[in-house]
Amino acid sequence: MRYIFGVLLITLAVAGAAFAQCSDADKKALEAFDHDWGAASTSGDRAALMNIYADDYMGMPQMQGKAAAIDGAVKSAERAKANPSPDKVTYDHYFITCTPNSATITHRNTIWTPDGMGGKPETFYTRSVHFLEKRNGKWLAVSNAGGGLDDYAVLWYLEQDWNDAVMKQDKAWFEKNYASDFSSISSGSGTLMSKAEDIADTVDPKTKFDAVDTTDMNIRVDGDKAVVTGVFHTKGTGDKGPFDRRVRYTDVWIKRDGHWVAWSSQGTNLAK
């Protein structure tokens, strides 16, 4: 379930190899910086934002400087306080690269609104890219970019969500993101399963996953239908003992009511 979309992730992949100094501790600190930045923007904390933005900060694509960016955040927070919104925003799927004095933070933003088209709840996705520099021992934001996601990017992230749901055995995710007429073919037995049967098979209390990941992802989109292929790897312990499996899979997605849902999935076991 991997698809490298656009120049951005290719650049990040190259940067990840070049920026080998970026330890797990560094990444956690940078993710915390991002959360603090988001909290300061949401609350309109001008003093905190003054310490987050570099004096030569430039936001894209509006080419907005530090003063304008902070004023915009404060005014937006004031409007939100005067007219509270039920919308919820979460941040996930962080990609962080760094050297001792520079860093790039990329993440997905998920916006959930209860009052979408036709009065139905809707989910929207965007992506943010932040560029930081360490000056006098302190991280500062020097630039910022972002925007909406095309279908390829949305599907790439949804496949990552699928991985996470398998790892966590998150039944609610499958209930929400499988189409009502979803079907799958078991990679082990060749059994054809309905939505309910697949979820019961995946969310098995006898199974504990230690690792879930994918490689070789390819995404093809044609209108409101898409096909995703790749290699799915799981490692853990089940009712028959430890397992370490690699499956070449095909996922079919369909767009309904403006949102992608999984329509079918089939896998073939690969020899180790």
pLDDT 10s digits, 234-246: 999 988 899 999 9
What percentage of the chain has pLDDT greater than the value 90?
A: 76
User: Mean pLDDT over residues 121-134, rounded?
Assistant: 92
Q: Which tokens sit at 221?
A: 């989109």
Tell me, what's the pLDDT at 15?
42
- Are 81 and 49 in contact by the 8 Å Cβ rule? The answer is no
- Alpha helices by DSSP H, listed for 54-150, are 66-82
Tell me, what's the pLDDT at 116?
65
Tell me, what's the pLDDT at 86?
84
SS3 178: strand
Q: Which CATH number fits domain 6-148: 3.10.450.50, 3.40.640.10, 3.40.50.300, 3.40.50.720?
A: 3.10.450.50
- Are 166 and 234 in contact by the 8 Å Cβ rule? The answer is yes
Flag whether pLDDT at 117 surpasses 70: no
Q: Which tokens sit at 190?
A: 């060749």
User: Mean pLDDT over residues 203-213, rounded?
Assistant: 92
Give strand ranges (E) for the chain: 53-59, 64-65, 88-98, 102-113, 122-135, 138-148, 178-185, 192-194, 208-222, 225-238, 241-256, 259-269
Tens digit of pLDDT for each residue in 143-193? 999 899 999 999 999 999 999 999 999 999 999 999 999 999 988 888 999
Half-sphere exposure of 182 (CA within 13 A, CB side): 25
Task: Indicate the fold that domain 169-269 takes in CATH.
Answer: Nuclear Transport Factor 2; Chain: A, (3.10.450)
What does the mean pLDDT of the chain come to?
89
Q: Is the dihedral of CA 241, 246, 252, 257 positive or negative?
A: positive
CATH 3.10.450.50 residue ranges of the chain are 6-148, 169-269
Flag whether pLDDT at 268 surpasses 60: yes
Tell me, what's the pLDDT at 247?
94
pTM of this structure? 0.82
Radius of gyration of the chain from its Cα atoms, rounded to whole angstroms: 21
- Are 108 and 127 in contact by the 8 Å Cβ rule? The answer is yes
Across 9-23, 104-118, 131-145, least confident range:
9-23
Whether the bond into 61 is cis, omega within 30 of 0: yes
